[in-house]
Amino acid sequence: MNVTISSTSDKPIYQQLHEQISAQILGGELESGYCLPPIRQAALELHVSVITVKKAWEELERNGLIHTVTGKGCFVAEFSPDEMLRIRNEMVLKQMEGDIQYYKSFGLTLDEVIALLGKIY
């Protein structure tokens, strides 16, 4: 578990957790079959409530990224590299739609956005 919780962020903790674990799974850092730490242990380590961890894990399961076995633990799901890429792009595109809406409201063209991105990526 290599996760950082920011209490100053305006994002809820469970969402921070979900995003970071998602990224680690879809980025290949966590392999298929890997067993996440027990939710109670994760809660202790991260100094958050069990329920908060549970909420993050539930969202991971809804997205098909992990697979919970009661009494055993939570395991990273099995998928092919292609599937992984597809799911990753799906998640990123969903976020990107909102980002684009913001840029467009300021009248930015695609070229202007790309130019700005290039400066700070």
Partner DNA sequence: GTGGTCTAGACCACG
Is residue 39 within 8 A of residue 54, CB to CB? The reply is yes
Interaction of residue 81 with its own copies, rule CB under 8 A: no
Interaction of residue 54 with its own copies, rule CB under 8 A: no
Please list every residue from 48 through 107 that binds DNA, using CB under 7 A: 48-52, 54-55, 57, 68-74
Pairwise CA distance, residues 17 & 45, whole Å: 13
Pairwise CA distance, residues 61 & 4, whole Å: 21
Closer residue to its own copies (CB): 3 or 37: 3
At its nearest, how many Å lie between its own copies and the CB of residue 101?
10
SS3 label, residue 73: strand
Phi, psi dihedral angles at 69 (to 5 degrees): -120, 110
At its nearest, how many Å lie between DNA and the CB of residue 84?
23
Q: Applying CB under 8 A, what is the total number of residues that bind its own copies?
A: 40
Pairwise CA distance, residues 64 & 22, whole Å: 10
Point out which residues bind DNA (CB under 7 A): 12-15, 36, 38-41, 47-52, 54-55, 57, 68-74
